[in-house]
Amino acid sequence: MNKDRLTKILGEEPTGMSSAGGGCIADSQIVSTRSGKKFFLKQGFTNGMFEKEAHGLQELTLPGVIRIPKVIDVGEDYLILEHIEGGARKKDFFEDFGHQFALLHQYSAPKFGFFEDNFIGSTPQKNIASDAEATNWPLFYWNNRLFFQFRLAEKNGYADEQLTSLISKLENRLEKILENSEEPPSLLHGDLWGGNYMTDESGNPVLIDPAVYYGHREADLAMTKLFGGFSKKFYEAYQETYPLKPGFERREPAYLLYHVLNHLNLFGLNYYSQTVHLLKQLQ
């Protein structure tokens, strides 16, 4: 984005831009202005990704329980957020984070899904549910998460006979696997791993880079375990605030599977064996 355009959007002249680094798939920069303010600029896509991310961030602010970067402006090819200075975690960081995340999940909606489709990483995520899916979590999760990713794997050439057979068997078992965990649809971050939260200048947690929808909260918690980055105290505080229904450990592989399938589609066959391992756990 050129300087004149950025000046018009921000209402003041930028005096410097520096790379934000990190693992974000977009081109991310910190913009400094003449008044001393800083903004976080993301650009590099023109597929609606930034508008969807803005809507997700705005949705996450509704419960008012955890810090979310404020959306300053968004367009087809850019997203401008408040710049949050990173800091050291305060002493009770993970206890507070677990408690706040549980409160976020207590914010609910009448139906599963979201008002629009969005993205998980750079993969499209289907959120617009049929009437049947909107009130039936196993059906929503199968059609819009697991089977959608499987069809992408077929398209990408990763769905061999073994994977196809295991997925077919899971379709007939998923409802049984998820039974007795029924709950109202919770507001989900959708892609919470160690790289999608940060610590602000006061040592408090901040959620970033969401893939928001309303679904089963166990799906959000499963993703936190895929790559680590969350302490035991996070889960203990969560359970004290909003206890999970019995059997959540048994259901966890079904929720991990969505994200591992997504990584298979994004990054290739290095995730094939992990995908098969999870599917075998669910047979």
Which residue out of 191, 200, 209, 220 is catalytically annotated? 191
Distance between CA atoms of 274 and 265, rounded to whole angstroms? Answer: 13
The encoded tokens of residue 53 equal 């991310």
* Non-local CB neighbours of 239 within 8 Å, separated by 6+ positions: none
Phi-psi region of 250 (alpha: psi -120 to 50; beta: other; left: phi over 0): alpha
The encoded tokens of residue 1 equal 């984005």
The gap from C-alpha 195 to its chain's centroid, in whole angstroms, comes to: 11
- Is 191 marked active-site? yes
Positions annotated as catalytic residues are: 191
